[in-house]
Amino acid sequence: MSFSFIMHHFSLNCKGKIWSVQQPAVMAILNLTPDSFYDGGAYSSEKKILKQVEKFVNEGADIVDIGGVSTRLSADIISVDAELNRVLKPIQLIHHYFPNVRLSIDTYSSKVAEYAVQSGVSIINDITGGTNDTAIFEVAHTHRCPIILMHIQGTVHTMHQRTNYVNILTDIYDFFVQQIGYATKIGIKDVIVDVGFGFSKTMEQNYTLLKHLAVFQQLDKPILVGLSRKSMFYKLLQTSPDKALNATTVAHTIALQNGASFLRVHDVKEAKECITIYQQMQQL
What's the rounded Cα separation, in Å, for the pair 249 and 215? 21
Give the strand pairing for 223-225 and 123-126: unpaired
What's the rounded Cα separation, in Å, for the pair 100 and 113? 19
In a domain, 1, yes or no: no
CATH at 254: 3.20.20.20
Which tens digit of pLDDT belongs to each residue from 240-276? 999 999 999 999 999 999 999 999 999 999 999 999 9
In a domain, 7, yes or no: no
**Active-site option among 89, 264, 269, 272:** 264
Can you tell me whether residue 134 is helix, strand or coil? coil
Q: Is the dihedral of CA 273, 275, 280, 284 positive or negative?
A: positive
**Active-site option among 144, 229, 230, 272:** 230
Residue 147: domain span = 14-282
In a domain, 231, yes or no: yes
In a domain, 4, yes or no: no
In a domain, 38, yes or no: yes
What's the rounded Cα separation, in Å, for the pair 93 and 103? 12
Q: Is 89 a catalytic residue?
A: no
In a domain, 9, yes or no: no
> When comparing pLDDT for 70 and 217, which is higher?
217
Three-class secondary structure assignment of 167-201: CHHHHHHHHHHHHHHHHHHCCCCCEEEECCCCCCC
Tally of helices (H runs) and strands (E runs) in the chain: 9, 10
In a domain, 2, yes or no: no
What's the rounded Cα separation, in Å, for the pair 161 and 85? 29
Which tens digit of pLDDT belongs to each residue from 28-84? 999 998 755 555 556 778 999 999 999 999 999 999 999 999 877 666 788 999 999
Mean predicted lDDT score pLDDT of the chain: 93
What does the pLDDT average to over 198-224?
A: 97
Q: Is the pTM of this model over 0.85?
A: yes
Q: How many domains does the chain have?
A: 1
What's the rounded Cα separation, in Å, for the pair 35 and 57? 25
Q: Is 264 a catalytic residue?
A: yes
